[in-house]
Structure 1
């Protein structure tokens, strides 16, 4: 059965109302209405000794939640309640009516125990509201990021972007990191890179987030140093041994520009992985030639088949000879550098190149034939030829 509250007399009400105003001043202006019911509770406890029940503590938790929503600090709302407690002490009915030191001590123990429970309830309500606010903000941010990088709801993106410090009217570039393990939103890698980049740049104009297991950075084109700094911070977090790559899209303008740059960044990652390109940072602008090659994938597949198909008949299959050709062209057609990159002897490299000539009829020493071989090797990597053994 719910406990009936004792009705305070008019003089007591005036005293307690005055205490609320003074407590608000003492707590640097924290609204007095956050004390709603608190002083009455203390007054009743001082007389009866009975501690506030669940209903009264729920009111205190609600007061803590309101304080969080109103932007009052936790310290401020706790200060308000503690100030109200000591300011109200001499005005509480049970204290004024107490006879002797034992009566005052009994009332004091009950009042301050109730105050302790009330402050704990206020803190619980405040922290619960804060957690809810954080979860809601994370949900808004995740929804915004998904729309931004998927190209949805473009008409509303510019307005929503301002909340996260982005200006979509100008040109932006997107960098994306792919690692051996997917990067998760709010995970250790994402948090560490975002924090370190924020400390380095001190700008709200840069967004670090995740998408489809990739770590993503969106930055204004005018902040030209961001991609390199982003790469350095990724390197600091992941280290040199982790097989990670960064793809960088081209600068694109408008709300839809971010998703275009993001797609280019992902394309750069795909090309870099297929071709096993050296280095960590791969710019889509430098890889346009491969996009041209893939536009006519049927013709590219024909070239690969005509030029390289005979390599399947080599001892050990086509892959070792294909790797040698790829390294040879990557090293500027320098057999010594090619051998060093493959950790082979120069004689092994020259032998393999000779085998390619014998099997295909194409020689790396003939400029025209070498070009056909190089384009065919690129096509093989892009198309996944020769496939599983």
Structure 2
């Protein structure tokens, strides 16, 4: 048997220790006519798994088995067939286990990366060069993506095909779809959004600003997620929101006491209006979004232009502020934005503690 092992190993490059059990099965089958037993099959599965771990291609292993059967002959091809199935089963299970380990390592890496705990060596393994400036784009579906959703893999493959494996990281985290890419790839964010649009019925995308290094990825990720939150709180219609376009809102929120005071002082009198302040707030939002065009604002709200004029006059009488006056318009618009950020009037201003 040793001489046959040596010949097969030399001819195919498969280590002899992987084939010893197979030759024993062939010899027993040739002598008795019996197929391999359970213990034999288990041993062959282990050999198949070892071959996978050592990086020996399955076709090379199969060729070695057939070569050994050719040398020994003796009508043992029933044993060959069963042995090959066992080899393949062990080989494939080892590959599946390696994929599961890689997926778990990737999940842990993404969690660490987005919390600022990733190191450069691990980052390079997953295709990121942390010395560069990165932009993170986040997509929020209507329903959180379940673990292992095939959409994540599909989008990643499409992005990698265009931009290369050492430029893109796509992953799911906390129900969001996250894409990190170098800031130099200016088309990557738009490409990611295109695939999100193709794969999801309802979605909203946030784009962070470019920041340097591993901490920069964390910052850009938070900016992107916060852009989506701000868009929802402000009732913005755009599906793609850029953190760079929304910089004024974090500034407003930093001094929450001042915003509470502004909303209370400027818009508080609207609570005396029949029907409450909400219709008047919506009117102001529509007028501001239409650059003061009453006809366009009326179309947005589905009411008449006359109703717009009436409501604006009502606002002027209650608050003392007119949207047609440039200075007063700015105060009103800032107060309306502050009201949306504070979720007023649905949430009373007293529910916002001093900070």
Q: What TM-score do you get using the length of structure 1 for normalisation?
A: 0.84
Q: Which of 215, 218, 221 is matched with 2:183 structurally?
A: 221
Structure 1 distance, partners of 2:347, 2:150, is 35
List structure 1 segments (4+ residues) > 3 angstroms apart after TM superposition.
Answer: 29-33
Partner of 1:141: 106
2:84 aligns to what?
Answer: 119
Alpha-carbon distance, 1:122 to partner: 0.6
Instruction: Report 1:1-389 matches (<5 A).
Output: 13=1, 16-17=4-5, 19-21=7-9, 25=11, 27=12, 29-89=13-73, 95=74, 108=75, 111-152=76-117, 154=118, 157-239=119-201, 242=202, 244-387=203-346
C-alpha distance in 2 between matches for 1:43 and 1:199: 49
Deviation at 1:149, TM superposition (A): 0.3
Q: Is contact 2:4–2:71 with CA below 8 Å preserved after alignment?
A: no
Aligned partners of 1:338 and 1:191: how far apart in 2?
43
Q: Distance in 1 between matches of 2:125 and 2:111?
A: 15
Give the Cα separation in 2 of the matches to 1:327 and 1:168: 43
Q: Are the structure 2 counterparts of residues 189 and 51 from structure 1 closer, same or farther at C-alpha, using a change threshold of 3 Å?
A: closer
RMSD of aligned Cα (Å):
1.9
Asked whether the 8 Å contact 2:135–2:182 carries over to 1, the reply is yes
CA distance in 2, matches of 1:143, 1:177: 20
In the other structure, the counterpart of 2:351 is none
The structural deviation recorded for 1:14 is 5.3
**Unmatched runs of 5 consecutive residues or more in structure 1:** 1-12, 90-94, 96-107
Query: Any idea what the Cα deviations from partners look like across 1:244-266, whole Å, max 9, x if unmatched?
Result: 21111111112211111111111
Normalization by structure 2: what TM-score?
Answer: 0.92
Residues 184, 190 of structure 1: 8 Å contact kept: no
- Output one character per residue of 1:133-181: Cα deviation in whole Å (capped at 9) or x when no partner: 01100111011000000122x4xx1110010110001111111111211
Partner Cα distance (1:337, 1:83) in 2: 81
Q: Distance in 2 between matches of 1:265 and 1:229?
A: 16
Unaligned runs of 5+ in 2: 349-355
Moved more, 187-196 or 215-224: 187-196
Alpha-carbon contact 1:61-1:124 (below 8 Å) kept: yes
C-alpha separation in 2, matches of 1:293 and 1:331: 23
Call closer, same or farther: CA 1:35–1:341 in 2, change over 3 Å: same
Change (3 A) 1:123 1:182: same
2-structure distance, mates of 1:121, 1:313: 80
Q: In the comparison of the two structures, how many residue pairs are matched?
A: 348
CA contact (8 A) 1:175 1:262 kept: yes
Q: Is the 8 A contact 1:58 1:121 kept in 2?
A: yes
Deviation, 1:360, is 2.0
